[in-house]
Structure 1
Amino acid sequence: MSVRKKQKIRKWVLWLLLIFVLGVVALINYELWQSKEDRFVRYQEFGTDIPVNYAIHGIDVSWHNGRINWPMVKSMEVRGVHLDFVFIKATEGLGRVDAQFRRNWEEAKSAGMIRGPYHFFLATKSGRAQAENFLATVTLESGDIPPVVDVEDTYGVRDTLIHQRLQEWLDVVQANTGTKPIIYTSVDFYDRHLGRMFDGYPLWAAHYLQKENPRIARDWSFWQHSEFGHVSGINAEVDFDVFNGDSLALKQLLMP
């Protein structure tokens, strides 16, 4: 065989090998893309995308959601996705109690929902006094989600004072309930204003711009991934959440 013919064969072999490698890479990339797309699926009935690689789904509500039909909420199921838990606003600041809290608190449990109370934190007020408002309003029972403090605005207060007041709330509530509270905030607020000082507390992270998980370096327990969901039994739009774990992990987190 001539040298020229050997070179020509070698050239074709290299081209075929290159085409094969590019095909394999393209197939792998497509499968990875498809896998990522499959993690967030549009559910028209819920009016939002759902991260289906999480097994336990829930919502959070306050008086803004109006009067809720909890049996309808609990019974709604679409292609295997149903709602297991709910965070319910209890208090805000020093003396405010959510207008729908007591009704939501009792009726959600009666309908079979796992419930958890949250306090909307005002950085301008005493952390201890806010904790006392929360504790005077909420009676926790076995199987409830631990208390949550919702901190999402500085109101012009410097970070060091926010840290002091937030730590007061956390300490007072933990001392009175015997369990470590959960912090709710956006990933941006956490990184900018809270940081490592509160890494030891369970986190309920709000983040709507990334579809696999909230964009935060630390561990998290709950993720609020949508503000615009729809649920049978609730007339207003509602926030959607997922739990980062299986049913056993959730059970271990709940109040004893």
Structure 2
Amino acid sequence: MKLLGRILGILLVVALAACGGGRTYRPAGVSVGHGTGPQFGDSAPHEWVGGHPYDHRVHGIDISRWQGNIDWGRVRTSGISFAFIKATEGADHADPNFRRYWYEAGQARIPRGAYHYFYFCRSGAEQAAWFIANVPRERGALPPVLDLEWTASKTCPRRPPSHEVLREARIFKDILHRHYGQRPIIYTTVDFYRDNNLGSWPEEFWLRSVAGHPRIVYPGQPFSFWQYTGTGIVPGIQGNVDLNVFAGSAEQWRLWLRQRLQ
């Protein structure tokens, strides 16, 4: 039965490849300056509305413990240009792979930053202190990221009113700004953005949109990063991984990095 299962698995992969699933791609005009160029893809590609992520020049990943062991050298030579790594959530949980990923990505010379998954059962100040206790203040790191979305946790099912959400999140990001010297990037989802009027914030945004271009899904909202799939395929990473793009050109990416990695 095990042998039969393996054979069926191989046939499924072949079938997906034949219909376009899991294909690799080369974003037009990309010049990564190392390796053989972009070799990543998507296990569940689909049509896009309003613009295609593959048209963007600079791609990256965001990861957590679920990615397991990572071959960062292969990740880099695949064309991945940045990585956001989960560090903490709430005020008492740290991702067990964070420090290893942080070190290994740095050794592979992939620009990387840390993100925090915000909970609504602890204060912004408590969560900021927890993040600072776990994430080094290191020259050359990308700005910290505040991940704001409605949690599905059984231990924290609260959905506080918008004014409370914004107050505690503002406290969190202001503490991190003072400590790390960089304003945190705000990651968010469509429903959370809408429910809490995040468009009123003059912050740098990383937007999740896995079906349509952010210019359609978040009309009028400037953004620096776009998370476009949770089913990405990247050499050096087993299984699916989140893929993202930087919103600007390759030259704008280099300028963005210079401004933040000093």
Give the structure-2-normalised TM-score: 0.74
1:185 matched to 2:194: no
Equivalenced residues, count: 210
State the Cα distance separating 1:234 from its structure 2 match: 1.1
Tell me the secondary structure at the aligned position of residue 235 of structure 1. Answer: coil
Give the corresponding residue for 1:145: 142
State the Cα distance separating 1:122 from its structure 2 match: 0.3
How far apart, in 2, do the equivalents of 1:107 and 1:240 lie? 19
Give the corresponding residue for 1:237: 240
1:83 matched to 2:80: yes
1:62 matched to 2:68: no
User: Which structure's CA Rg is the greater one?
Assistant: 1
User: Of the candidates 124, 127, 130, which is equivalent to residue 124 of structure 2?
Assistant: 127
1:232/1:60 CA distance change after superposition, 3 Å:
same
Q: Which runs of 4+ in 1 moved over 6 A?
A: none
State the Cα distance separating 1:253 from its structure 2 match: 4.7
1:89/1:252 CA distance change after superposition, 3 Å:
same
Which digits, 9 at most, give the CA deviation of each residue in 1:173-210, with x for residues without a partner?
Answer: 11111211100011332122142442x11100000111
Contact 1:60 1:238 in 2 (8 A): yes
How far apart, in 1, do the equivalents of 2:75 and 2:215 lie? 25
1:143/1:213 CA distance change after superposition, 3 Å:
farther
1:104 matched to 2:101: yes
Which digits, 9 at most, give the CA deviation of each residue in 1:21-79, with x for residues without a partner?
Answer: xxxxxxxxxxxxxxxxxxxx987133425723211110100011112111121122xxx
1:74/1:213 CA distance change after superposition, 3 Å:
farther
State the Cα distance separating 1:211 from its structure 2 match: 4.3
One-letter amino acid matched to 2:23: Q
Tell me the secondary structure at the aligned position of residue 234 of structure 1. Answer: coil
Give the corresponding residue for 1:21: none
1:161 matched to 2:164: yes
State the Cα distance separating 1:212 from its structure 2 match: 7.2
Give the corresponding residue for 1:171: 174
State the Cα distance separating 1:141 from its structure 2 match: 2.5
State the Cα distance separating 1:161 from its structure 2 match: 1.2
How far apart, in 1, do the equivalents of 2:65 and 2:200 lie? 32
1:243/1:174 CA distance change after superposition, 3 Å:
same
How far apart, in 1, do the equivalents of 2:119 and 2:73 lie? 33
Which digits, 9 at most, give the CA deviation of each residue in 1:87-112, with x for residues without a partner?
Answer: 00011110211010000000011112
How far apart, in 2, do the equivalents of 1:215 and 1:180 lie? 25
Contact 1:206 1:214 in 2 (8 A): no
One-letter amino acid matched to 2:206: W
Question: 218-227 or 50-59, which moves further after superposition?
Answer: 50-59
Contact 1:88 1:101 in 2 (8 A): yes
Give the structure-1-normalised TM-score: 0.76
How far apart, in 2, do the equivalents of 1:170 and 1:192 lie? 19
Give the corresponding residue for 2:6: none
How far apart, in 2, do the equivalents of 1:194 and 1:181 lie? 18
How far apart, in 2, do the equivalents of 1:194 and 1:169 lie? 18
Q: Aligned runs of 1:24-39 on 2, under 5 Å?
A: none
1:203/1:119 CA distance change after superposition, 3 Å:
same
Q: 5+ unaligned residues in a row in structure 1: which ranges?
A: 1-40, 77-81
One-letter amino acid matched to 1:247: W
One-letter amino acid matched to 1:209: A
Contact 2:246 2:253 in 1 (8 A): no
Q: 5+ unaligned residues in a row in structure 2: which ranges?
A: 1-19, 25-39, 46-51, 152-157
How far apart, in 2, do the equivalents of 1:212 and 1:172 lie? 29
Greater fraction of residues in strand: 1
